[in-house]
């Protein structure tokens, strides 16, 4: 059995209700060629048709597919070769995935990248108000 290349598990953004997994195909193509890696991007169900928890289930299903053995119809990747990330809502799902795995004492991915993550959905932190005129995200 040959060793699998590193895998980037990308979770797209879009305010939980927009975009799709192919939105960044042009970037993914260049990245895979430059890094000798493979990329998987999940097509999670969108709001308002489903709640956020259902979307998170889709994100977990993608991660479990990546880490399940090939004998169980998975991709057979080791967690040490997976980097999880995304932008905006995708970064929110990525951080949620990592935290839930950690709290369940499950192996975490090797790394993460979070681009403009939505991490405080209560809008209660002072930085939300202090930076509101400069940071529209």
pLDDT for res 80: 96
pLDDT for res 113: 93
Question: Which domains can be identified in the chain, with CATH numbers?
Answer: 7-130 (3.40.50.1820)
Q: What is the CA radius of gyration of the chain?
A: 16
pLDDT for res 92: 96
pLDDT for res 48: 97
Q: In sequence order, which ranges of the chain are alpha helices (DSSP H)?
A: 25-35, 52-67, 89-103, 126-130
Q: Chunked in runs of 10, what are the mean pLDDT values of the chain (137 residues)? A: 83 93 86 88 96 97 97 96 95 97 97 90 82 72
Residues 85, 95: Cα–Cα separation, whole Å: 8
Residues 91, 124: Cα–Cα separation, whole Å: 19
Distances from the Cα of 41 to the Cαs of 21, 55, 69, 70, 128, in angstroms?
5, 14, 19, 19, 30
Q: Are strands 111-115 and 82-87 parallel, antiparallel or unpaired?
A: parallel
Q: Three-state secondary structure along 2-20?
A: CCCCCEEEEECCCCCCCCC
């Amino acid at each position: 059995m040959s060793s699998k290349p590193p895998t980037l598990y990308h979770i797209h953004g879009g305010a939980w209700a927009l975009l799709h997994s192919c939105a960044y195909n042009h970037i993914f193509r260049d990245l895979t060629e430059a890094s000798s890696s493979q990329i998987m991007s999940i097509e999670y169900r969108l709001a308002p048709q489903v709640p956020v928890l259902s979307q998170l289930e889709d994100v977990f299903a993608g991660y479990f597919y990546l880490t399940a053995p090939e004998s169980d119809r998975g991709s057979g990747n080791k967690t040490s070769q997976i980097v999880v990330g995304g932008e905006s809502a995708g970064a929110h799902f990525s951080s949620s995935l990592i935290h839930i795995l950690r709290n369940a004492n499950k192996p975490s991915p090797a790394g993460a990248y979070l681009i403009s993550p939505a991490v405080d959905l209560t809008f209660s932190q002072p930085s939300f108000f202090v930076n509101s005129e400069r940071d529209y995200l």
